[in-house]
Structure 1
Amino acid sequence: MEKSTVINPVPPGGRIASVDVYRGFVMLLMMGEVLSFQSVATALPDSKFWQLLAFNQSHVPWTWLSLHDMIQPSFSFLVGVVLPFSLASRKNKGATTAALLGHALLRSLILIFLGFFLRSLGKGQTYYTFEDTLTQIGLGYTFLVMLGFCSRKVQIGALIVILVGYWLAFALYPLPGAGFDYASAGVSPNWEHNLQGFAAHWNKNTNLAWAADRWFLNLFPRSTPFQYNEGGYSTLSFIPTLGTMILGLLAGGIFKNDQKPAEKLKYFIIAAISLTALGILLQLTNINPIVKRIWTPAWVIFSGGICFGFLALFYWLIDLKQCKKPFFFLSVIGMNSIAAYLMSDGGLRQYITDNLYIHLGAHYNQIFGLAYATLISGALTLLLLWLILYWMYKQKIYIKI
């Protein structure tokens, strides 16, 4: 931890406020898991309102998405958005290309090992897994920085190669045969979310990425041999995740150019509509399904369009309309996103919740009835987490890697 004025250096004009707000919105979605809308929805099964909130606070079983599924792609996308500013700032301070690449490699390693640490909490030994958000970003970050030195044409070319190559690798991997042991893959052949026809190449735990992890993850010390990930997540997803970061890098390039703000907003909106439509087309034509858990090329394109949409919305509201005060609470979170991530995923969130029960009593959160208990305790926990981030903001303390 260190005292600093910024997390990611930006041009002399200052931080891009809309990016901080967007990042804060994403981290709030993650921290907001403590509200446990699903518990409220279970207690109030006839309420469509709470059912809708609960759906959007959980991941979909396989295809398409919920709002919660947009946390990881947004976080990855924003890594790319701020990179052009970070590189420019370090170059202005005299950093050489070699020094920048060395810093990128170090940052990649820190992100990977931080992912190991967070996933190993409460376990008897180090849990080596590579599907965590920080680890996935870490695996691709150095390559992203290398692309940051390249022209826009090279960046777009790299994106196309990644998406087409990853699609082709899955398409060429053989489908399960008649004697396939589905139990060893942790999925039923009759699972309602299994895809049919050509799209079956992207089914849960019977695809190329699952096969790669059956080899790769067993190279590490484990309490039991790795057979499958229950959620269907995989290490190889870092490759298309790099594609998501490249989309962010392209957006960052638009931010950094000298065009008028209205022109930049237009590019963001066009990208949002075009990418979202293309992703839906790939899904509906069965060419490639939209699956976040294995980060299919269609998911990169579809979620990338949504990321551009969020970016356009926040850019219009915050930077163009200067509507900053109502979103200040999000800026506080977004300016210290790593701290917010660690608070949410590192145990502090649960520690605060547990202590609220100790100090306020077992029934303090039932003042509006048992159905809303998690909502009350979760809201108090969120408030305390935000106050910690606000104190760090006031002290100009930001955690950065």
Structure 2
Amino acid sequence: MNAKSIIEKPNRLLSLDVFRGATIAAMILVNDPGDWGHIYPPLEHSKWNGCTPTDLVFPFFLFMVGVAVVYAMENKKATMPHGKLLLNALRRTVILLLIPWITQLIFHPEGGLAHLRLPGVLPRIALVYFICTILYLKTSQKTRDWVFAFALVGYFIIMTCIPVPGVGYANLEPETNMGAWIDRLVFTTNHLWRESHTWDPEGLLGTLPAVATGLFGIRVGSWLKRKDRDENVKVSWMFTYGVLAVVAGLIWDLFFPINKALWTSSFVLYTGGLATIALALSYWLIDVQGRKRFTYFFVVFGANAITAYVLSGFIPHYMGMIKIGGVSLYQTLFVPYFSPVNASLASAIFTVAVLWLVMWIFYVKKIFIKI
């Protein structure tokens, strides 16, 4: 992370910060329950196939990565050397890769480098960001559309048609699918998801369709950025694109199930369509209709989105170390007054509020930390 805070007024649509801020708030909410044994049901991921509201959070963020690439790069790519832009993108990618690895070593020093989980949320964001930046700078929209299609169809063929070594047939089960086999081969079991060690929900092969999610965002961002279209026309077509993508995803779900852990092609279309609809609604309400009264809360998160996410791994950890009369904050503030599930939810909301206060200080001081 750049040690120097960059103080500036972000030059982007308000709806983009609101959408990103809402996504980050939701990520913090689902990642920091008070008790992992009593998670509020809507905040749980689907067991395998299917899609809960929680499963929408990560693809929505990757979708916004694609949109942000357009808004960050469109003017620069015509005036700045592409090599310099790619070098900056590479620097940011390396930082995003290093943050979770360093964090793991801080919180789990007993595992050391020998048991460091290499895949993860931030590494996937980093790879999608870097690949999408290259594609945006070096290819046309038509080429990106072809890459999008080949990524989805190619991933479908790999996962459903190519026999998995050691298994003998293609399948979509957690430990025996092609993606899990590649992760064990490349990373070894010591460097995969701690809950399993045999597969990883942010595995290497799944990066291919995840890039397609980023390209979905680039396509929508490029449309939103156009100056030769009326705002109402933009919104109408975004709704149309979104609905068509959702329908296509549901049809593909019949033979390639919607699945977040595998990031299936149907999942890309379904969540990308919903993200497009949500962004269209935000854009129409906030930037077209001027309804900005309730946006401030989310703008505070959206202006420092990655910073908020990174701090969400630190602040709850240290909050858990605070004791009142020898009892944790969770046991003191929530357990006596709520049912187990509602206590867990109340604690998660409290965590979001604490992080918002930190981000609010940054926002008021006009500190926007660029990675």
TM-score bucket of the superposed structures, by smaller chain: 0.7 to 0.9
Q: How does 1:327-338 map to 2 (within 5 A)?
A: 327-338=295-306
Pairwise CA distance, 1:374: 3.5
Q: Does 1:86 align with 2:55?
A: no
What is residue 264 of structure 1 aligned with on the other side?
234
Give structure 2 stretches of 5+ with no counterpart: none
Post-superposition, which runs of at least 4 consecutive aligned residues in structure 1 deviate over 6 A? 37-41, 219-222, 358-361
1:350 is matched with which residue: 310, 317, 322? 317
Q: Is the 8 A contact 1:21 1:330 kept in 2?
A: yes
How many equivalent pairs are there?
358
Call closer, same or farther: CA 1:215–1:329 in 2, change over 3 Å.
Answer: same
**Structure 1 SS opposite 2:287:** helix
1:389 is matched with which residue: 348, 351, 359? 359
Pairwise CA distance, 1:112: 1.6
- Aligned mates of 1:248, 1:119 — CA distance in 2: 30
Percent identity for Structure 1 against Structure 2: 26
- Aligned mates of 2:249, 2:191 — CA distance in 1: 39
Q: Does 1:21 align with 2:7?
A: no
TM-score (ref. length: structure 1): 0.80
Q: Is the 8 A contact 1:128 1:217 kept in 2?
A: no
Q: How does 1:142-221 map to 2 (within 5 A)?
A: 142-149=130-137, 150-174=139-163, 201-218=171-188
Name which of structure 1's ranges 361-370 and 288-297 shifts more when overlaid on structure 2. 361-370
2:6 is matched with which residue: 4, 14, 39? 4
* TM-superposition CA deviations, 1:65-88 (whole Å, max 9, x none): 111111111111101101122113
State the superposition RMSD in angstroms. Answer: 2.9
* TM-superposition CA deviations, 1:251-293 (whole Å, max 9, x none): 1101211111111111210111011100100112x1x111110
What is residue 249 of structure 1 aligned with on the other side?
218
* TM-superposition CA deviations, 1:211-248 (whole Å, max 9, x none): 111110029889x9x9503x654222111110000000
- Aligned mates of 2:178, 2:96 — CA distance in 1: 25
Name which of structure 1's ranges 112-121 and 75-84 shifts more when overlaid on structure 2. 112-121
Pairwise CA distance, 1:368: 3.4
Report the AA paired with residue 318 of structure 2.
Y
Report the AA paired with residue 279 of structure 1.
G
Call closer, same or farther: CA 1:219–1:77 in 2, change over 3 Å.
Answer: same
* TM-superposition CA deviations, 1:79-107 (whole Å, max 9, x none): 11011221134347x52111111112222
- Aligned mates of 1:99, 1:337 — CA distance in 2: 24
Pairwise CA distance, 1:39: 6.4
Report the AA paired with residue 121 of structure 2.
T
**Structure 2 SS opposite 1:398:** coil
Report the AA paired with residue 295 of structure 1.
W
What is residue 208 of structure 2 aligned with on the other side?
239
Call closer, same or farther: CA 1:317–1:35 in 2, change over 3 Å.
Answer: farther
Q: How does 1:357-368 map to 2 (within 5 A)?
A: 357=324, 363-365=332-334, 368=337
What is residue 48 of structure 2 aligned with on the other side?
62
